[in-house]
Amino acid sequence: MENNIMLLCDIGHTSYHFFDGKNDYKKGVNTFIPEIIQEKVYYICVNVKILKRLKKLKNWINIEPYIDKTQFYQTMGIDRIIASLSINNGVIIDAGSAITVDIIKDNIFNGGFIYPGMIAMNKCFKSISSNLNYNFNFSIDLYNLPKNSQNSISYGYLKGLYLEVISYNLPIILTGGDALKFKTIFKNATVDEMLIFKGMKILIEANK
Amino acid sequence: MENNIMLLCDIGHTSYHFFDGKNDYKKGVNTFIPEIIQEKVYYICVNVKILKRLKKLKNWINIEPYIDKTQFYQTMGIDRIIASLSINNGVIIDAGSAITVDIIKDNIFNGGFIYPGMIAMNKCFKSISSNLNYNFNFSIDLYNLPKNSQNSISYGYLKGLYLEVISYNLPIILTGGDALKFKTIFKNATVDEMLIFKGMKILIEANK
């Protein structure tokens, strides 16, 4: 499976995220010139503008058509689908601007749900009342009911998510920009920032 | 306990909510003139401007000083405290612009937490992505993982709250403007729009 020449790229709204088999690095979507790359690049892309540009380049290969989407749903993000392919059993929590939670049992996608990311939820509480304008306390004890405002919103944000995720009794895999924050809550979780690339590799190998 | 002459009033940011022992009715804070009332009115008020005005009126009696706040916390809203006094055992869900959840066991306030109200949470998802701009589906089956976008955010909003609330194994009391929406999720819950007035009455009786 290990192939260091294979260049993988996950393109979002703000950056190209590359993985060369050893290291990963990011390039801004507004400054990076994809034409300069000579090697073969396998990619996924949710950025419509960039996608148009990449379609003209022969060495950039979109792997989205490789996916058998029947077990997923129509509007599900390609990044969630690919991440789901990377594990056999587990709950994947992708903690970014949104938090997506996907449950995979015996290689089957069981479904998933979407929860607001940390920043969006903070703004949400603030929009309700300036009295609720606190950062979340991720060190909160979720087994004791809070008795102050900061903990009241932190508990509101985190406790239900926690109960739902642990209810599956499966390994928990954290990925995304806020993965380490949520590691405080899901102490036994594995943090894996390379999950998307693992899924991409599996898909490419299966389609060779 | 029944006393039809006693006029109770819960004053918020938008209205005076009256209860005359039989009926309840609302008056807008900007149009209603409290000076016209001749009877004794027992009230609570979170509206600072109105509070100033009422302090000058002899027949308007603020019952906030009657409360022994030691078992509650400093920044806890007066409406949450009063509602907590109205029951001996249960989980009170006040579903308004924010959702407050308070747990009372054997007449003791065990603590509570705050969760975004329906409208704020809708806006929150929408702010993350226009693809998440759906109304919540309150008829969702919370025991089956969703496989479409509307249900994915509805499940995200409701499932964790549901698990946390039922974990206490106590009677559930719903109040606030969105009480009936949440009744769809908490099927065995009691809807009680008069909860705040029950708490006020108990407090007044105890201080006679």
Query: Do the Cβ atoms of B111 and A74 come within 8 Å?
Result: no
- Model confidence pLDDT, tens digit, residues A157-197: 999 999 999 999 999 999 998 999 999 999 999 999 999 99
Residue A8 near residue A2 (C-beta atoms within 8 A):
no
Q: How far is A68 from chain B (nearest CA, A)?
A: 16
3-state DSSP assignment of residue B169: coil
Query: Do the Cβ atoms of A149 and B121 come within 8 Å?
Result: no
Distance CA B144, CA A187 (A): 26
Q: State the pTM of this model.
A: 0.89
Give the catalytic positions of A in this structure: 79
One-letter amino acid at A38 equals Q
Distance CA A137, CA A92 (A): 22
Residue A194 near residue A22 (C-beta atoms within 8 A):
no
Query: Do the Cβ atoms of B148 and A111 come within 8 Å?
Result: no
Mean pLDDT of chain A: 93
Compute the C-alpha angle B78/B79/B83, nearest 5°.
120
Distance CA A197, CA B158 (A): 32
Dihedral angle sign, alpha carbons of residues B82, B173, A123, B50: negative
pLDDT-derived band at B147 (thresholds 50, 70, 90) equals confident
Q: How far is A76 from chain B (nearest CA, A)?
A: 7
pLDDT of residue B1: 40
Of B117, B132, B167, the CB nearest to A114: B132
Residues 31-90 of B with CB under 8 A from A: 72-76
Average pLDDT of the residues in B53-72: 93
Average pLDDT of the residues in B21-26: 92
Residues 2-41 of B with CB under 8 A from A: none
Is B128 in the A-facing interface, judged by CB distances under 8 Å?
Answer: yes
Residues of A in contact with B143 (CB under 8 A): none
Which alpha helices (DSSP H) does chain B contain, by range? 48-54, 78-85, 118-128, 149-166, 179-183, 195-206
Q: Has residue A48 got a pLDDT over 50? A: yes
B79 given a catalytic annotation: yes
Which residues are CB-neighbours of A127 under 8 A, at least 6 positions away? B120, B123, B124
Percentage with pLDDT > 90 across chain B? 83
Is B125 in the A-facing interface, judged by CB distances under 8 Å?
Answer: yes
pLDDT-derived band at B68 (thresholds 50, 70, 90) equals confident
- Model confidence pLDDT, tens digit, residues A71-109: 888 888 888 999 999 999 999 999 998 999 999 999 999
pLDDT of residue A2: 42
- Model confidence pLDDT, tens digit, residues A113-168: 999 999 999 999 999 988 899 999 999 999 999 989 999 999 999 999 999 999 99
pLDDT of residue A4: 46
Catalytic annotation, pick one of B10, B79, B94, B178: B79
Query: Do the Cβ atoms of B112 and A73 come within 8 Å?
Result: no
Percentage with pLDDT > 90 across chain A? 82
Of B73, B149, B151, the CB nearest to A147: B73
pLDDT of residue B5: 67
Query: Do the Cβ atoms of A116 and B129 come within 8 Å?
Result: no
Query: Do the Cβ atoms of B125 and A113 come within 8 Å?
Result: no
User: What CATH fold (topology level) applies to the domain B7-62?
Assistant: Nucleotidyltransferase; domain 5 (3.30.420)
Residue B184 near residue B102 (C-beta atoms within 8 A):
no
Could you tell me which of B82, B92, B86, B76 has the C-alpha nearest to residue B62? B82
**Phi, psi for residue B83 in degrees, rounded to 5:** -60, -40
Q: Residue B203 corresponds to which tokens in the numbers above?
A: 């407090």
Residues of B in contact with A161 (CB under 8 A): 160
Q: How far is B189 from chain A (nearest CA, A)?
A: 19
What is the full DSSP assignment across A28-60?
ETTT--GGG--S-EEEEE--HHHHHHHTT-TTE
Distance CA B163, CA B185 (A): 11
Residues of A in contact with B122 (CB under 8 A): none
Is A150 in the B-facing interface, judged by CB distances under 8 Å?
Answer: no
Q: Residue B45 corresponds to which tokens in the numbers above?
A: 């008020």
Residues of B in contact with A146 (CB under 8 A): 111-113
Could you tell me which of A146, A157, A159 has the C-alpha nearest to residue B98? A157
Lowest mean pLDDT among B68-72, B140-144, B176-180, B190-194: B68-72
Examine domains A7-62 and A87-198 and report if their fold is the same. yes
- For domain B87-198, the CATH superfamily is ATPase, nucleotide binding domain (3.30.420.40)
Distance CA A146, CA B102 (A): 10
Residue spans per domain, chain B: 7-62, 87-198
Higher pLDDT, A77 or B144: B144
3-state DSSP assignment of residue B144: coil
Residues of A in contact with B72 (CB under 8 A): 147
**Closest Cα in chain A to B144:** A111
Question: At CB < 8 A and 24+ separation, what contacts does A41-45 make?
Answer: A41/A7, A41/A8, A41/A9, A42/A6, A42/A7, A42/A8, A42/A9, A42/A200, A42/A204, A43/A8, A43/A9, A43/A10, A43/A11, A44/A9, A44/A10, A44/A11, A44/A78, A44/A79, A44/A82, A44/A196, A44/A200, A45/A11, A45/A78
- Helix, strand, coil percentages (3-state) for chain A, rounded to 5, are 35, 25, 40
Return the H-helix or E-strand segment holding B172: strand B172-175
